[in-house]
Amino acid sequence: MADKLHEYQGVTGRLHGARDRYKERWSRWREQHPRGVRDVVAETLFGIPNSDEPPERVWQDSAYSDLYRRKSRIELMRISAAVMGIEFSYAGETAFVSPTLLQIGVPHQQMTLVWALSPLIGFFMTPLLGSLSDRCRSKFGRRRPFIVLMSVGVLLGLILVPNGEDIGYALGDELPLNRTEAPSVLGPRSSALDKEHSNYHPWGVLFTVLGTVFLDFDADACQSPARAYLLDVTVPEDHAKGLSTFTVMAGLGGFMGYALGGINWDDTRLGELFGGHVRAVFSLITIIFVACVTATITSFKEIPLSELTDQEEFRKQAETERLQESFDEGPDGPDKNLKKDNVTYGALNQPEV
């Protein structure tokens, strides 16, 4: 069949077929080596990489090569570990902050206002922090510095909330044993309010409220860079699996955090060591939080913004050069293409000159 086809085409047809195959191979070779023979010789003889390859292909052999491969489930769990530590902190905050504030003398009305401080601050600060993170030019990347910064705030909250009353005593708050006045008997509600004010500790209240604001605001704000970090260090094919892992880790942290507070630590050696149930819970949460955040920020390197900018500019330049070369390699040259493309409606019936 092929012999009959060749006989039908003749020598001219075979030459045209060979020419088409050669042009196709030449086009593929030019796509792989945009700068021609010079870069091929430099890469073969001297080991100099092709500078016009896409930046992703160049960086696959660099320190950021792990960012361009699929991640295992264990690696995704490590990247998402920070949110599990955040949920541990949320659990301790939700379970113990309100009783602690009431214990040191904060009235019920003001206690609810304390919880409103963090969302109010977040309303103004969270968009600003997101913008700063997107433009951060740190050599450690755009997300990890803010994860560390927010984690420091969470740690301050975990320290101040269970210890605010003792810090107040150290700064001059009056101990309950030194009080001599008896609570008034003016009815159930009045006596309750009077008792709350009789145990009022101004310095203790200040540091406990500061700890609550630090803990709540920074735990909220830390979730956004943690999620963005997950998306930045994974390939698009892993985004769905990564976000589902992120959600599972968050739920696991919340469950274990609340379960941790349900254990009676007062009857254990650990409770005696840390000084009571609340301190034992917050101390364990602090240790778990530090371990989780450390696992996340040491999992994969981020590409700094300066290198991302260079990559984008390099990609645009390479694409422009490829388009220009394709334009110049037209069958009749660029001038002929321009003439054909710029024909007006009135010239459609005009014979070509």
- For residue 186, pLDDT beyond 60: no
Band of residue 4 on the pLDDT scale cut at 50, 70, 90: low
Number of domains in the chain: 2
- For residue 206, pLDDT beyond 70: yes
Higher local confidence (pLDDT), 183 or 271: 271
- For residue 201, pLDDT beyond 80: no
Average pLDDT value for residue range 48-52: 47
> Does one domain contain both 123 and 51?
no
> Does one domain contain both 129 and 155?
yes
> Does one domain contain both 129 and 198?
yes
**What is the DSSP code (8-state) at residue 142?**
S
Instruction: Select from 91, 222, 97, 247 the least CA-distant residue to 162.
Output: 97
State which residues form the domain around 183: 71-306
- For residue 282, pLDDT beyond 60: yes
Q: Which of 12, 43, 62 is the C-terminal boundary of a domain?
A: 62
In a domain, 85, yes or no: yes
Band of residue 187 on the pLDDT scale cut at 50, 70, 90: very low
Q: What is residue 3's predicted lDDT score, i.e. its pLDDT?
A: 54
Band of residue 22 on the pLDDT scale cut at 50, 70, 90: confident
- For residue 350, pLDDT beyond 80: no
The Cα–Cα gap between 53 and 31 comes to: 10
> Does one domain contain both 116 and 235?
yes
Helices marked H in 171-238: 188-198, 202-232
69 contacts 235 by C-beta, under 8 angstroms: yes
> Does one domain contain both 122 and 57?
no
77 contacts 249 by C-beta, under 8 angstroms: yes
Task: Give the CATH number for residue 105.
Answer: 1.20.1250
pLDDT tens digits, 131-181: 999 999 888 999 999 999 999 999 999 999 999 988 988 888 777 655 544
Band of residue 37 on the pLDDT scale cut at 50, 70, 90: low
Q: Is 289 exposed, middle or buried (0-12, 13-18, 19+ CB in 10 A)?
A: buried
> Does one domain contain both 270 and 126?
yes
> Does one domain contain both 159 and 19?
no
User: b/e map of 323-335 (b: 16 or more CB within 10 Å)?
Assistant: eeeeeeeeeeeee
- Tell me the CA end-to-end span of the chain in Å, nearest whole number: 44
Give the angle subtended at the CA of 302 by the CAs of 297 and 306, to the nearest 5°: 140
